[in-house]
Amino acid sequence: MPVPGDRARGRHRDAGGRRNSPTTYPPTSQETMSDAVMDCGGAPDRRSFRVTVALITRNRRESVLRTLDRLAALPERPPVIVVDNGSADATVAAVRAHPVGAHVLAVGHNTGALGRNLAVRHATTPYVAFSDDDSWWEPGALEAAADLLDAYPRLGLLAARTLVGPDGVDDPLNSALANSPLPPAPQLPGRPVLGFLACAAVVRRRAFLDAGGFHPVLFFGGEETLLAYDVAARGWGVSYVPSVTAHHHPEPGGRPGRRAVQRRNALLTVWLRRPLTVVLRHTVRLAAAAVRGERDAATALRGALARLPAVLENREPLPARVERSVRLLDRQST
């Protein structure tokens, strides 16, 4: 059984997108305490907390304020870090004035999912829960997640159950995760998986940083699978635990262009981590869809090709044990 963090992958990215030696580990929460307080404008000492909530937002002022209301009402009273991705709607001022007391990191431009990496780097707790500006956690969920991460030291990422909208409908991904074909692991709770929703995940900070965080080549949209691969490749476990619950209230209608971005990033994930035979198969499949005139396929393929130089620089095929797990999931989806 590999020891988490001990996989020698040549050189790996840290959560800021830089490349580090595999023997360089992220600082502990205590070591980063003084830096985080300085960068966040004199935050209070929260060393007794186990879970920080990390949230990214951009030009969704009213939505993020509703989410902060929910987080402020949690019995765990978690520290909250909000990364503002260049909002132009007075979001920063409104979040700073909110009674939840969030640490606001106003980066001045759109960092996409990489804003979560920044939040994790600033967190001073051993665990970090992700929320979007339209999602929040069930009361008691963060405490339950922290208990599981304490009890299972190999667990790197916990995927929670996601309930959607005011009626609390199960997100379709819940069923897919619950029916994962990966065999049970005695060192992990719940069901081993290689996927999750970013707005419903709790990570071990060290595992997240060790895996490099969300990948800059993908930027945003369907970025979760690659992180799950990288966490598993470093020897950490990824588990679906439906007793831990998050709520997601997306705006109706979805976001324009999202489907093309998701298809692009699915192909980029394959290019970055899968064997060349799999790379060829998935590329031909998307190219054929583009030739047929399938909606969003050509846009997705062009977007992937534009990122090919970055893919070649960052390509690191999965270790055999993780690739075997991915193939089990491939067979389930066909």
Distance between CA atoms of 112 and 141, rounded to whole angstroms?
Answer: 26
- Cβ proximity of 134 and 141 under 8 Å: no
Q: What is the pLDDT of residue 40?
A: 40
CA 126 to chain centre: 16
DSSP 8-class letter at 21 = -
For residue 160, the cross-strand partners are 241
Q: What is the pLDDT of residue 223?
A: 96
The DSSP string of 41-96 is TS----TT-SEEEEEEESS-HHHHHHHHHHHHT-TT---EEEEE-S-SSSHHHHHH
Ordered mean pLDDT values, 10 residues apiece, the chain (334 residues): 53 43 32 32 52 97 97 96 96 97 96 97 98 97 98 98 97 97 96 97 98 96 97 98 97 81 98 98 98 95 98 98 97 80
Give the pLDDT confidence of 237-280 residue by residue, as tens digits: 999 999 999 999 998 876 778 899 999 999 999 999 999 999 99
Q: Tell how strand 51-57 and strand 19-20 pair up.
A: unpaired
What's the token pair of residue 73? 């009402």
Q: Round the average pLDDT of the chain to a whole number and report it.
A: 88
The DSSP string of 240-295 is EEEEEEEEE-PPTT--TTHHHHHHHHHHHHHHHHS-HHHHHHHHHHHHHHHHTT-T
- Cβ proximity of 70 and 136 under 8 Å: yes
Q: What is the pLDDT of residue 3?
A: 59
Q: Left (φ > 0), alpha (ψ -120 to 50) or beta: where does 11 sit?
A: beta
The pTM assigned to this predicted structure is: 0.87
Q: What is the pLDDT of residue 252?
A: 81
Identity at 307, one-letter amino acid code:
R
